[in-house]
Amino acid sequence: MLKLLSSSSARQIHNHLASPCLRVTTESSTNPLLKALGSITGLTRRTSRNPTYYQRALFCSGSSNDGSGEVVEVELKSGESGADSTDASNAIVPTNPRPEDYLTVLALPLPHRPLFPGFYMPIYVKDPKLLAALQESRKRQAPYAGAFLLKDEPGTDPSVVTGSESEKNIYDLKGKDLFNRLHEVGTLAQISSIQGDQVILIGHRRLRITEMVSEDPLTVKVDHLKEKPYNKDDDVIKATSFEVISTLRDVLKISSLWRDHVQTYTQHIGDFNFPRLADFGAAISGANKLQCQEVLEELDVYKRLKLTLELVKKEVEISKIQESIAKAIEEKISGEQRRYLLNEQLKAIKKELGLETDDKTALSAKFRERIEPKKEKIPANVLQVIEEELTKLQLLEASSSEFNVTRNYLDWLTALPWGNYSDENFDVLRAQKILDEDHYGLTDVKERILEFIAVGKLRGVSQGKIICLSGPPGVGKTSIGRSIARALNRKFFRFSVGGLSDVAEIKGHRRTYIGAMPGKMVQCLKNVGTANPLVLIDEIDKLGRGHAGDPASALLELLDPEQNANFLDHYLDVPIDLSKVLFVCTANVVDMIPNPLLDRMEVIAIAGYITDEKMHIARDYLEKSTLEACGIKPEQVELTDAALLALIENYCREAGVRNLQKHIEKIYRKIALRLVRQGELSEPDVSGESKKAEAESIQSSSGSNEASRNEENDETSVEAETVMTDQPSEQIQCPVDQPANSKEATETEKIEESEVTKAVEKVLVDTSNLADFVGKPVFHAERIYEQTPAGVVMGLAWTAMGGSTLYIETTQVEQGEGKGALQLTGQLGDVMKESAQIAHTVARAILVEKDPDNPFFANTKLHLHVPAGATPKDGPSAGCTMITSLLSLAMKKPVRKDLAMTGEVTLTGKILPIGGVKEKTIAARRSEVKTIIFPSANRRDFDELATNVKEGLDVHFVDDYSQVFNLAFGYDQNEEK
Ligand SMILES: Nc1ncnc2c1ncn2[C@@H]1O[C@H](COP(=O)(O)OP(=O)(O)OP(=O)(O)O)[C@@H](O)[C@H]1O
């Protein structure tokens, strides 16, 4: 409470407080505000240096002795609330205030560390009210506040950094909450400056909060704390402080960070006594906030010094670790730097000596060197693109991704064989020789190639063409492609488009994609190095559907001679001339080739081989190449004709020869193994003279040995084979696979055995031992009837695997008035089902004509089946076979022996042409058919067949079913038998 002062009481207070900074006016004031404050018991502080201009005063109510009264700040503005300068001049105004005069202070929360006396600390005040209050107090020339460390939230670990989250929360703390979170002991902080929300504090003296005065901004009452009295000359304190000093010196020596700390945060340390030393050590240490707070709270000087010593000692250790880490890293970096510098120097020296240019220049030089010889042939637009890209390369940063893209692009552009053609062979005779060398038969294909060469010779230039070789697997489509390339002296490149569904495979990716690549054609040109290779596109009938674009259209652009002179690959982005490329495609089924593509092709069908052709191929090509591949000398083995024939007829009856090749390889591999085994057995550990002598003795007794071996072999060896001795006439049987642990074998027997095998020179493969090499025949004969019964007729079919024979079987299910019906089985397709219905109708009509009284079809339920029910079948060509089968059953008369037929039939009985004449003829031969009926329209196809295919066949060409009827049933049954 404030009481108006009389001059005497004011002086009394003045004297009592004995403060030189107080000035007391003697006149009493009528200021109503002062009156309202009631009696004054203690004067604390004046706020203005000049008593004439004072505006505020701090008064403390209650006892003036202990200073425990309430502090009241009074505004004494002149002219406000009746207070004027005259009135105010009556108040008691202190001069030169001291920090210890502050008994009520604004509380500043410190989130990270306590503030030590004598140190700077910048803090950020986010609370606008608090900031305003601080600014106000600075204006009032009372720039002091209390700085208190904030306690962690209960349950948090002070050593764990949780980011800015906690900091955010403290700005939200207000009033009582904030008060409860503050450590009791803090520091009286002078507000040195305020810039924005940054406030620089300078620590002065320790405070202890006693109670909260106001909540927002938080104002607290404080006690000023003093160190406990201590003896300056105490040895222990001295020793401890010296240790602190020497440790600090060590740290300062090691850590430059500490030196900076000392310079930045210490402020007029003043007289450097022991308590200050302890504060100093703790303040600059890196200890956590609670350890620092402990030092701050410690008023016992010795204890405080001890605490500080612990902290600085720890700091020494940390500094040592820091130093070693720094040293290790420095060493590593300096090593790398050194290497880098040396490398750079090396590069510079090499450059100076002209030994090496920098990467980019070297790269550009490489590309230029590449295009130099073919510069004349490279199209102008391509040259321009190359030049532009080379300029771009120089401007790009070598480490950029764009640089790599440009480099790869240039690599492709410059690597292509622009205008580089291989010298073509226009020598027809030579070409024919090469073609014959590689393949037996295939006259059509060879003729076509020779025509191509002849045209090239006359025109002087060859032309890009698309040839399509179609036929069953293994007939040599791929290998003839390779052979054509050899004959024409063109480079060969093969790629399969079977299942290909991505257009990018053909046309390339756009350069913008990561990992972009040009298409197959550009890769081919780079690979072969000439612009006129022979490109074999395999399995074109199995081209995929395409999920991104249509591969068939892309192939069209590639193959079409009209378009491919300017083929544009997405990656290359410059037109390439593919008009000189010879494209050869292969397919199993021509029907599956997309029509626009097929339209541009010259299809050459390879039908498959008959036994005779297979024999030739096996003898002259497959056997020779296999012998070579297995490392067997021709004189070491003999595969008899009979064995080969058996192999073809019983094991490899399909149209192609791939399976035959596999079987021959299998035989020769087995022979190779046996020869090696024998060879090993025949290497006895005897030398020179003794060997010779033994050989002679063995030779003289060979007859008896052979005889004994023969006997033994008959009884014991299941897997025996025919072997020949020096004299081919003397054939003996000897076991090739010896029982590994023959206990009975004596020493002499062993020698004899080895010498006998040594004499073996030729392995004979005959029909008798063929099964030992290739196992039992796996092929079941197509022919299931020796003589077809009534209702069964042999037809001829075409499949992707070649031709084959098939039976049409008809039987009667039940009979009865008006029960005539037809039931079909055998996985027949729609066309074949319709064909059967037609056959039923036509057969009925014919029967009416031939035997009007026979009600068979009207009263009989029939079942027509086509065996091999697991294989789907379709097509109209079995029409005439079905009619014949139905009529045969109706008339109960089997058809002529060894007859096969094929032909589509109309409802009126006309016979329409069919496809696959060669395949069907070959299939008929395979099944030992003697008589074949073909539609007349196919006569030309048949006439074109090679003589060996036609040989020995009785072929009839028919226009009308009546002719078939006569051929099938117009025979004398007795004669047939
Ligand atoms: N007329 C022939 N003369 C000599 N060897 C042949 C003849 N026909 C095929 N061959 C041989 O048969 C093997 C198989 O031929 P190739 O691989 O060319 O068959 P393909 O018709 O391309 O089969 P696919 O349709 O399965 O690709 C090759 O080793 C080839 O040399």
Residue ranges per structural domain of the chain: 104-153+171-224, 235-325, 359-415, 428-604, 609-675+761-780, 792-970
Neighbours of 163 (CB within 10 A): 7
Mean pLDDT (whole number) for 621-629: 88
Q: Ligand 1 pocket test: pick from 470, 479, 480 the residue with the most ligand atoms within 8 Å of its Cβ.
A: 479
CA torsion, ordered 281, 287, 290, 292, to nearest 10 deg: 10
104-153+171-224 has CATH 2.30.130.40 classification: yes
Ligand 1 environment, Cβ below 6 A: 439-442, 473-479, 586, 588, 617, 621, 657-658, 661
Lowest mean pLDDT among 77-81, 474-478, 758-762, 856-860: 77-81
Gap between the Cα atoms of 448 and 431, Å rounded: 12
Phi, psi of 824 (to 5 degrees): -120, 140
> Is 60 exceeded by the pLDDT of residue 953?
yes
**Atom 10 of ligand 1: nearest residue by CA position:** 476
Ligand 1 atom nearest 622 alpha carbon: 5
Residue nearest to atom 3 of ligand 1 (CA): 439
Indicate the range of 72-76, 124-128, 411-415, 627-631 predicted with least confidence: 72-76
Centroid of ligand 1 to alpha carbon of 647 (angstroms): 18
Q: Which range is least confidently modeled, 435-439, 736-740, 899-903? A: 736-740
Sign of CA dihedral 59, 63, 65, 67: negative
* pLDDT of res. 13: 40
The pLDDT, as a whole number, for residue 706 is 40
The whole-number average pLDDT for the span 850-860 is: 85
Task: Name the band, by pLDDT with cuts 50, 70 and 90, for residue 674.
Answer: confident
In this prediction, residues 631-660 reach a mean pLDDT of 85
Which candidate, 893, 910, 891, places its Cα nearest to that of 842? 910
**pLDDT, position 882:** 92
- pLDDT for the residue numbered 264: 59
Range 556-576 average pLDDT:
86
In the reported structure, the alpha carbon of residue 870 is separated from the centroid of ligand 1 by a whole-number distance in angstroms of 28
What average pLDDT score do residues 250-276 get? 67
What pLDDT score was predicted for residue 957? 93
Helix 688-700 with 747-759: angle, nearest 10 deg? 80
Q: What is the mean pLDDT of the chain?
A: 75
Band (265; pLDDT cuts 50, 70, 90): low
CA of 480 to the centre of ligand 1 (A): 7
Range with lowest mean pLDDT among 214-228, 755-769, 846-860: 755-769
Q: What's the CATH class of domain 792-970?
A: alpha beta
pLDDT for res 683: 57
- List 221, 491, 670, 920, catalytic entry: 920
| Token pair of 202 as six digits | 């300078």
At residue 506, does pLDDT exceed 70? yes
Hey, whose CA ends up nearest to atom 9 of ligand 1? Answer: 476
Measured between alpha carbons, how far is 334 from 919 in angstroms, rounded to an integer?
Answer: 81
The pLDDT of residue 490 is above 70: yes
* Interval 372-382: pLDDT, tens: 888 888 888 88
Choice from 497, 658, 799 to test ligand 1 binding pocket (greatest atom count within 8 A of CB) = 658
Query: Is pLDDT above 60 for 873?
Result: yes
Ligand 1 atom, smallest distance to 538 CA: 27
If you average pLDDT over each of 10-14, 63-67, 638-642, which comes out highest?
Answer: 638-642
Per-residue pLDDT at 409 exceeds 70: yes
Instruction: Output 467 or 272, whichever has higher pLDDT.
Output: 467
472 known member of a binding site: yes
Q: 661 C-alpha to center of ligand 1: Å?
A: 9
Residue 693 has pLDDT above 50, yes or no: no
pLDDT band at 242 (very low <50, low <70, confident <90, very high): confident
What spacing in Å lies between the alpha carbon of 636 and ligand 1's midpoint? 26
pLDDT category at 723 given cuts 50, 70, 90 is very low
74 is in an annotated binding site: no
Ligand 1, residue 660: give the atom nearest the CA. 12
Note the pLDDT of residue 95.
45
Mean pLDDT of 258-285: 70
- Strand pairing of 42-46 and 92-94? unpaired
Lowest mean pLDDT among 5-9, 223-227, 466-470: 5-9
Mean pLDDT in residue range 212-216: 82
Residue nearest to atom 16 of ligand 1 (CA): 476
Q: Going by CA atoms, what residue is nearest to atom 26 of ligand 1?
A: 473
Tokens 């401890």 belong to residue: 240
The pLDDT assigned to 457 comes to 83
What is the rounded distance in angstroms from the CA atom of residue 822 to the CA atom of residue 841?
A: 10
Which residue is associated with the tokens 């068979």? 856
For residue 932, report the distance from its CA to the centre of ligand 1, in Å.
29
**Is residue 465 marked as binding?**
no
Average pLDDT over residues 139-157: 78
ipTM value of the model?
0.96
Q: Topology of domain 609-675+761-780, per CATH?
A: Helicase, Ruva Protein; domain 3 (1.10.8)
CATH number of 235-325, picked from 1.10.10, 1.20.58, 1.20.1630, 3.30.230: 1.20.58
Choose from 316-330, 669-683, 745-759, 826-840 the range with maximum mean pLDDT. 826-840
Model pLDDT for residues 304-339, shown as the tens digit of each residue: 888 989 888 888 888 888 888 888 888 888 888 888
pTM of the model: 0.54
Catalytic residue among 877, 885, 888, 927: 877
Please identify, by atom number, the ligand 1 atom nearest to the C-alpha of residue 481: 18
pLDDT digits (tens, 9 = 90+) for 809-833: 999 888 887 788 888 998 888 898 9
From 443, 478, 585, give the residue whose CB has the most ligand 1 atoms within 8 Å, as the site to mutate.
478
Cα 576 to Cα 827: distance, rounded to the nearest angstrom: 50
User: Could you give the CA distance from residue 306 to residue 295 in angstroms, rounded to a whole number?
Assistant: 9
Asked if residue 90 has pLDDT above 80, the reply is no
On whether 476 is known to bind a ligand per the annotation, the reply is: yes
Q: Is 157's pLDDT higher than 70?
A: no
Q: Pick the residue whose CA is nearest to atom 2 on ligand 1.
A: 439
Is residue 612 within 8 A of residue 951, CB to CB? The reply is no
Rounded Cα–Cα distance for residues 534 and 514 (Å): 31
Q: Which residue has the higher pLDDT, 871 or 890?
A: 890
Pocket test for ligand 1, best of 437, 446, 475 (most atoms within 8 A of CB): 475
Taking CA atoms only, the protein residue closest to ligand 1 atom 25 is 473
Which range, of 42-56, 160-174, 488-502, 681-695, averages the lowest pLDDT? Answer: 42-56
Mark whether 920 is an active-site residue.
Answer: yes
Strand, coil or helix: what is 286?
Answer: coil
Give the residue whose CA is nearest to atom 15 of ligand 1. Answer: 476
pLDDT at 84 over 50: no
Average pLDDT over residues 229-241: 84
pLDDT above 70 covers a percentage of the chain that reads: 75
For the residues 485-490, what does the mean pLDDT come to? 87
CATH code at 428-604: 3.40.50.300
Range name among 411-415, 697-701, 866-870 with the lowest pLDDT average = 697-701
Q: Return the pLDDT at 955.
A: 92
CA angle (291, 297, 299) in 5-degree steps:
125
Residue 32 has pLDDT above 50, yes or no: no
18 pLDDT above the threshold of 80 = no
Residue with tokens 């491919």: 564
pLDDT at 168: 54
- Residue 99 is labelled as binding a ligand: no
Q: How many CB atoms lie within 10 A of CB 745?
A: 13
Instruction: Please state the atom number of ligand 1 nearest to the C-alpha of residue 441.
Output: 1
pLDDT score of 584 more than 80: yes
Tell how far the Cα of 479 is from the centroid of ligand 1, in angstroms.
Answer: 5
Q: 645: CA distance to ligand 1 center in Å? A: 19
Contact call for residues 795 and 806 (beta carbons, < 8 A): yes
- Pick the range with the lowest mean pLDDT from 171-175, 470-474, 694-698: 694-698
475 is in an annotated binding site: yes
270: left (phi over 0), alpha (psi -120 to 50) or beta: left
Quote the ligand 1 centre to 655 CA distance (angstroms).
11
Give the lowest-confidence range in 238-252, 385-399, 773-787.
773-787
